[in-house]
Structure 1
Amino acid sequence: MKKAKKRLNAPRSSTRAAKAAIKNVPPEDRYFNRELSWLAFNERVLEEARNPHYPLLERLRFLSISASNLDEFFMVRVAGLKAHQALGIENRSADGRTPAQQLAAITEAADTLATREHEVWDELRAALAQSGVCVVGDEPLDEAAEAWLYQHFRNQIFPLLTPQAIDSSHPFPFIPNRGFSLVFELRRGRAASIYELVMLPAALPRFIRIPGEDARYIALETLIRRNIDYLFPKHELLRGGAFRIIRDSDIEVEEEAEDLVRYFRTAIKRRRRGRVVRLELEPEMPEALVEIVVDGLDAANAIVSETRGLLGMADLSCIVEEDRPDLKFPAFDPRFPERVREYGGDCFAAIRAKDFLVHHPYESFEVVVEFVQQAAADPDVVAIKQTLYRAGKQSRIIRALIDAAEAGKSVTAVIELKARFEEEQNIEWASALERAGVQVVYGFIDWKTHAKVSMVVRREEKGYRTYCHFGTGNYHPVTARIYTDLSYFTADAKISRDVAKLFNYITGYLEPRNLRQLVISPHGMRTSLLALIDAEIAAARADKPCGIWAKMNSLVDPQIIDKLYEASCAGVPIDLVVRGICCLRPGVPGMSEKIYVKSIVGRFLEHARLWCFANGHELPHPEARVYISSADWMPRNFDRRIEYMLPIENPTVHAQILDQVMLANLLDNEQSWRLKADGTYDRLEPKAGHEFNLHHYFMRNVSLSGRGQALKKGRRVPKLRFQRGR
C-alpha cells in the first residue's frame, strides 16, 4: 500500500494516472469482502438488541431478526459458496479470496456472531423475567401450571409427534430446511440401546404460552423432554440432544426453463430437499449421537456449529407478539398525505395538480393502495400496468387488479417469480390474476424484474393521460409499515412515455430507445452513474463546487467503487449512507480519504435508494442532480435485473429528497455507525444537546411535497443544515 499511497497522493493527478494508481492497489486493500461485510451488518442488527434505550420486547425482536438473517445468509450465500467448492469452481471474490478462504472466514465470524446472540439472549431472558415475561426450563412449576402442561402435551402435542427408530430397517428420515429435531438413546430393561428421533412438527408454535396473568412461555422441545416418560413408556433415557439444520435454499433458473411457473413449482420442492449447509448442535451433545445425525443427514461437508444454548432463536419472534405495550415502542400511526385529502381523497386530481412524494412508513402506504383501487373503480380508466416483486399474503392491490380486469379494463401484471422466498406466493397470485383475465407476464428468464412501477391510463377531456407511481420499495402492505421507502406520483408526459416503453420491454422484449427521463438496467444504469461521478471529478479538477450524497442498501460493484476512489483522489467530498453490505474502504489516505460511509440501523429498516450530485454547486442546492431508484450499487442490479433510476425535477419533490430526506440521513447521530478503513464500525456518540434521531424527526414532521396546506396551519418543517465535521 505504501507505493500506491505515494502515487495516489499526487495533487489533482490526471484521470488516467489516478485510475492506474487505484488499479495497482491489491484487491484485499481495495475492497472489503462481501460476505464478511454482510455479517458485520448483522452484528449491528444484533447490537440493537442490546440498546438500553429500546423496550425489552423490541430488543427481543432485533435478536430474532438477527437470527433469521443469519439463517437466510447460510441458505443462500454460504450455500452458493459451498456449491462452488463442491464443483471445484475457484472464482475469486473482488477482494481476492477463493470460496474455501471465504468459507473459513465466514465460519469463524458466524460462530462469533452466534455466540454473541446467545449472550444477548441470556441478558434479555433475565431482564424479561423481571418484567413478567418468562421462558421456563426444566425447573418445577406450580401445581396448576404442571397440570395444564401435562394435559396440553397429551391432547395437543403428543398426537402430532412421530418418534422414528434409527436402525438398519428404519433409514434416517428426511428433515426439512430449518427443521428442529431431538435424538435420544434409550434402553428398555436389559435390551440393547435403541436410537429414536423426534422432529418438532412445523405446525406447532415453537413457544407455548402457559395460561395465567404472568406471561410464561415454554419451548416445545422443553415440554417434550419434560414428558419423555409419556412419549417412551418403560424406557430409560441414556443420552439425548437437539439439532437444527439449514439447507441450500437458492433457486437457479436454467436458460431452457421455458415454462417458468412449472419450473418454479418443481424448484420449490427441490429447495426443501437441498443439501445440508449448516448443522447446529445443542451444547455437549454426545459424540455418538452427533455421528448418527451427521451420517443420517449426509452432512459431512456441512458447517457444524455447537451452540451455547437455545437453538433457532428466530422463533423468539412469537414471544414478541405478547400483549405488553409497555415493553414495546409507542404505537405510531402513519399520516395520510394531506395533499390527497385536499382533493377529497381523489389521487388522480392530486397528481394532476402537482407531482408529490410519499415517505413511508411515516406517511401511509394506504395512498398507494387507494391509487390502484381508484383506478380499478374509475370508469374512465382504460388500462393498468404494474410490476409486482413482493406483494405479501393479503394484498388489496392484487384484489384491485382482479376487480379492474373483471370490470373490463386492460390490466397487465408483471409477476417476478424469482423473488427469493416469495416464489410460491407469487405463483398463487399469478394464478388468481390469470383466472380474472389479467394479462400476467413473468418477465425475463435470466433477469429479475426488480423495478417497482405502475401506470394508469385514464380517458380525460383532452385525451388520454397516464399517471405513474415509482417506488423504492415493494407493493407490500406489511413491510411498508417498517421499511423506509419513497413513493413518487407523477403525470409528467415524458416520464409516462418512458414508463410505457419500460413495460413494453418487459412484456415484449422491445428494447426501449430514446428514453427521455428514465434510465434502466441492464441497459445503461452503471454507465450513467459513472458519467455522473465523472462530472463531479471534472468539476473538482476545474476548482468548481462538487460533491456526492447517496443512500442505498448495499455498495458492492467494483467499477463504481473504483470510480468513487478516483473522485476522492480528485477532491470530491462523498457522503454515503449504506445500510448493509459495503465493499468500499473509506478513509484510506491517498485513496478514499474524502469518502465518508455510515450505516443506519434503528426502529425502521432503511430501504430507500436516492442519489444526489452537486452539479457544479454546493450541496444541497436546487440545481443539484437528484435521483430515486429501485437499485442498489451491486453487479446484480446493474447486469441481471430490470431496475430504474429517475431524475427528480419537480422543485418541491427535489427539495424534499435533498433538503429533508437525504440531509436527515446524514445528520442522524443516534442510530448511525461509521465505517472505518479497517472494516470495523463505530457507533456515533452524539454530544449532549446535539442529538438527532432520523426516525423521530420524520415521525414528528410532515413531508414537504405531501403536506398541502399544512404550512398555513403553522406546521412548519424544521430547516436542516449539514456541515461535514471530519
Structure 2
Amino acid sequence: MKSKKTDPIIDGSTEDESFFNRELSWLAFNERVLSLAEDDDKPLGERIRFLAISADNLNEFFMVRVAGLRQLVDRGFKRLPKDDVDIDQLLTQIMARSAKLMARQNQVLPELIGCLRDENIHVMSDIPDDEQDRLWLEDWFIDNVLPLITPTTLDPSHPFPFFHNDGKGMMLELTSPDSKPMQSVILLPANLPRFVKLPGDGLRLLLVEAVIRASIVKIYPRHQFVSAAMFSILRDSEIEIDDEANDLIHEFENALRARQRGNVVLLTLSKDAPKPIRRLLKSAMGIDENNFFNTDGPVALNNFSELLHYIPKHLLFPAFTPRFPQRIRDFNGDCFAAIRNKDIIVHHPYESFEVVVRYLQQAATDPDVLAIRQTLYRTTSNSPIVKALIQAAENGKTVTAVIELKARFDERNNIQLARALGRAGVQVAYGLTDLKIHLKMSLVVRREHGKLVSYTHVGTGNYHPITAGIYTDLSYFTCDKDVGRDAYEIFKYLTSHVQPDKLKRSFISPHQSFPQLKLMIRAEIENCKNGLPSGIWLKCNSLVDHRLIELLYEASQAGVPIEILARGICCLRPGVAGLSETITVRSIIGRFLEHGRIYVFANGGEFLSDKNIVMISSADLMPRNLRRRVECFMQLENPTIRKQVLHQIMVALLRDEKNAWYLQPNGSYVHPQTDETSFSCHDYFMSNPSLSGLGSLSATQDNG
C-alpha cells in the first residue's frame, strides 16, 4: 500500500487550538475508512464493503451529530455551550468536508464497478438493450414491484407524501394526455431489494430504480414521460424521553415514532434533477440549500452492501474461523471448571464468541447455578444470550436483566427483548433513567461445596453474536472473590440506585472514573519528576474529554511518554513542542473494527513489568462515558492475563505497520508506505492463539 495522507482538520474551528474539533475529527476517521475502499491491495469485495460502511457511517453522522447542531441553532444558540465554537462556522466546515467525502465515494464507486466487470460481474444502472431482458424485467416489475409502490400524482388533493427517515424516492416529470405538465413521486419501500439479478449467463445486477424508471408506462400508460430523478433523505434521529415517565417502554415507543418524523437534515438528489423538481422537494421537505447534496451517481450508497450477497468468495478476505480456547476444551467444555482453574481472557473475533454463549447456556441448565445477572446494551433479536436467560428463568433460577432502552438505533429491538424476558419471569430493570447503562457484565452465582461462588464476565464489547465476528473485543472470565463482590455492588447500583462506596478491583462511571484516571495520570507525572519509570498506553475508540486531555498534556510536558491508540475521534493534538511532544497517536483501520478498550499505566515500573497497572473497560475517554453513563474499568491481576494483554495484544498493536495511521499536529493522518512483508496485528492475532486460552497446547504451563 502506498503512503497516504488525509486532509488536515481545519484550524480555527475552536477558539483553543489545543484541541481538534470532535465533528471534524470524526469526518477524518470516516475518510480513513473510505481509503480502504480506494486501496487496490484489498480484495475487491471488501473494498465495496468499506465503501458501504463509509456511506452508512456518514448517514449516522448526519442523523445524530449534524442534527444535534441544527437543533441548537433552532433553539437560538450561536456557539456550542461547552466548546465555545461558532456553530454556523462549524456547520459550514462540516458540510464542505462531507461534500468532499461524498464526492470521493462517488468517484470510487465506478472504479469498483469497473473492477467487477473485469470479473464478469456487471452492475448496471440502465436497462439492457436485449429484448428478452426487457420482457423479463417487465414481468419482474409487475410481479415484484408494482404491488409494493404507491405512485402519487401531486396536486392540491394529493399533497407530497411523507417519507420516513432513510427513505428513498423517485421524482417524475410527466405530460398528461391533455398536454399539461405534472409531477409525481414514488416511495421506494425499504423492503425492496436495491439490485435485480438478471437471468442468463454471467452475473448481471441492475439497480432497481432503473427498472422502475423504464416501467413508468405501466403506471401512467397515457402520459408522456419527461424526466426522473432519484433522491434520499435523512432525518433528525435523536430522541427525547421524559425521565419521570411511569412506563418507560411506552415512552420509548412514542419517541421512536417521533424519530421517523424528525426534521430533514440531508437530502441527496441526482445532479441532473430539473429545477422544478428541486424547488418542489425543497418546499415539501422544509429545507434550504444547506441541506442538499447533489450526486452524479446513485443515492444511498450504503445499500451497495447488498452486492456482497453476490460476490464470490475469492473476491473477499480469506475465510477465518475463530478459535475455541483449548483450555476450555481441556475441561470438556465446562466453562466453570476452566475458570476455576485460572482466569481467562477471550480475544474476539480471533477467539469464538461461542465461549460467552456457552458460559450462559451452561449457567441456564446447571442445577447448582442459583442466580444470573446480566447487562444488555446491544444484541440480536434472536440472541442466544437472551434465550439462555429465558431458559434459566424457566428452570427456576433468579435472573435479572438490566436492559438499556436508550441504546441508539437498537431501542425497538431492546423493547421487544424486554417484553420477552419479562414474560418468561426474568426480572427486567432499565437501570437509571438519567444515565445510559453501557458497561458489559454478567454475574453467575453457583453453589459449590456448600458455599456460594461468583463467576464474573466483564467485556469491552456488546453481547452481540454478529458484531463479535467483526469487532475486536475482550471477554474476561474470573471467579476471583473481589471481582465477584465488585460485580454484585455494581448490579445493586443498577437496580437500587445505591452507589458503590468502595470497589476493590474496579471503578465505575459516572462518579469514580475521571477522579481515578486523574490520580493515575498524576502518579505518572510524579514518578517521571522523581526519576522513576513512567508512561501511559491508552487504547480506545475515541478520545474527546478536554479535562482528561489537559491532564495528558500536563503529563507530556513533565516528560511522560504516552502512546495512544484511538481508532476514531481524537481531539488531542499530538507532537506539539511544549505541549504534547511526548505523545504519539495512532489509528488502526483494517479488516476488523478495533473496539476493545485497554488502559495501561507504568506505575513506577518499566513497561511490560509486573508493576504496570493494566485495565480493560467498556468506556471510551469521552465526557458521556466518564460522566453520563455507567461504565466499568476492571483492573487485571492474574499474571497470565496481564501478559496476554500487555506482551501480546498491546505490543502487537503498537508494532502494526499495515493498518496504522499516525495523527499529525495539524490534524491530518499519515499512513506510511507498506508492502506484503509489513506487520499487521490482525494477521498476527488470526495466526497466534491467546496466552490464557492455550491450555494443553502450551509446552510450558503458566501456573499464574
TM-score, normalised relative to structure 2: 0.96
**Partner Cα distance (1:607, 1:430) in 2:** 26
User: Post-superposition shift, 1:301?
Assistant: 7.4
Give the letter for the 2:527 counterpart: A
User: Post-superposition shift, 1:713?
Assistant: 9.4
Structure 2 counterpart of 1:472: 460
Q: Does 1:659 align with 2:647?
A: yes
Structure 2 counterpart of 1:35: 23
User: Post-superposition shift, 1:238?
Assistant: 2.2
Match of 1:581 among 569, 582, 596: 569
Structure 2 counterpart of 1:270: 258
**Partner Cα distance (2:46, 2:629) in 1:** 35
Contact 1:31 1:94 (8 Å CA) reproduced? no
Structure 1 counterpart of 2:389: 401
Q: How does 1:430-579 map to 2 (within 5 A)?
A: 430-579=418-567
Q: Does 1:104 align with 2:112?
A: no
Q: CA RMSD in A?
A: 1.6
Match of 2:33 among 33, 45, 53: 45
Match of 2:687 among 677, 680, 700: 700
**Partner Cα distance (1:83, 1:417) in 2:** 23
Structure 1 counterpart of 2:355: 367
User: Post-superposition shift, 1:534?
Assistant: 0.6
Q: Does 1:339 align with 2:324?
A: no
Structure 2 counterpart of 1:5: none
Describe the superposition over 1:137-183 as per-residue Cα deviations: whole angstroms up to 9, x where unpaired: 22534343222212101111112121101111111110111111111
**Partner Cα distance (1:312, 1:195) in 2:** 23
Structure 1 counterpart of 2:313: 325
Match of 1:123 among 95, 103, 111: 111
Contact 2:37 2:47 (8 Å CA) reproduced? yes
Match of 2:697 among 704, 707, 710: 710
3-state secondary structure, aligned to 2:698: helix
User: Post-superposition shift, 1:688?
Assistant: 7.8
Match of 2:130 among 130, 137, 142: 142
User: Post-superposition shift, 1:95?
Assistant: 5.4
Structure 1 counterpart of 2:52: 64
Give the letter for the 1:696 counterpart: D
User: Post-superposition shift, 1:27?
Assistant: 4.3
Structure 1 counterpart of 2:601: 613
Q: Kindly, what percent of the aligned residue pairs are identical?
A: 48
Q: Does 1:382 align with 2:408?
A: no
Q: For residues 301 and 115 of structure 1, do their structure 2 counterparts lie closer, same or farther at Cα, with a shift above 3 Å needed?
A: closer
Structure 1 counterpart of 2:3: none
Structure 1 counterpart of 2:188: 200
Give the letter for the 1:409 counterpart: K
Q: Does 1:133 align with 2:128?
A: no
Contact 2:171 2:184 (8 Å CA) reproduced? yes
**Partner Cα distance (1:458, 1:435) in 2:** 24
Q: Does 1:413 align with 2:422?
A: no
3-state secondary structure, aligned to 2:68: helix
3-state secondary structure, aligned to 1:37: helix
Q: For residues 687 and 120 of structure 1, do their structure 2 counterparts lie closer, same or farther at Cα, with a shift above 3 Å needed?
A: closer
**Partner Cα distance (1:89, 1:137) in 2:** 44
Q: Does 1:260 align with 2:267?
A: no
Structure 2 counterpart of 1:240: 228
User: Post-superposition shift, 1:207?
Assistant: 1.4
User: Post-superposition shift, 1:310?
Assistant: 1.1
Tell me the matched-pair count.
690
Contact 2:127 2:214 (8 Å CA) reproduced? no
Q: For residues 266 and 426 of structure 1, do their structure 2 counterparts lie closer, same or farther at Cα, with a shift above 3 Å needed?
A: same
**Partner Cα distance (2:675, 2:47) in 1:** 24
**Partner Cα distance (1:78, 1:636) in 2:** 18
**Gaps (5+ residues) in structure 1?**
1-24, 717-726
Structure 1 counterpart of 2:615: 627
3-state secondary structure, aligned to 1:310: coil
Structure 1 counterpart of 2:145: 157
**Partner Cα distance (2:603, 2:61) in 1:** 39
Q: For residues 217 and 26 of structure 1, do their structure 2 counterparts lie closer, same or farther at Cα, with a shift above 3 Å needed?
A: closer
Q: For residues 165 and 43 of structure 1, do their structure 2 counterparts lie closer, same or farther at Cα, with a shift above 3 Å needed?
A: same
TM-score, normalised relative to structure 1: 0.93
Contact 2:242 2:251 (8 Å CA) reproduced? no
Contact 2:460 2:595 (8 Å CA) reproduced? yes
3-state secondary structure, aligned to 2:296: coil
Q: Does 1:680 align with 2:668?
A: yes
Give the letter for the 2:680 counterpart: N
User: Post-superposition shift, 1:618?
Assistant: 1.7
**Partner Cα distance (2:153, 2:605) in 1:** 74
User: Post-superposition shift, 1:708?
Assistant: 0.8
**Partner Cα distance (1:310, 1:203) in 2:** 18
3-state secondary structure, aligned to 1:217: strand
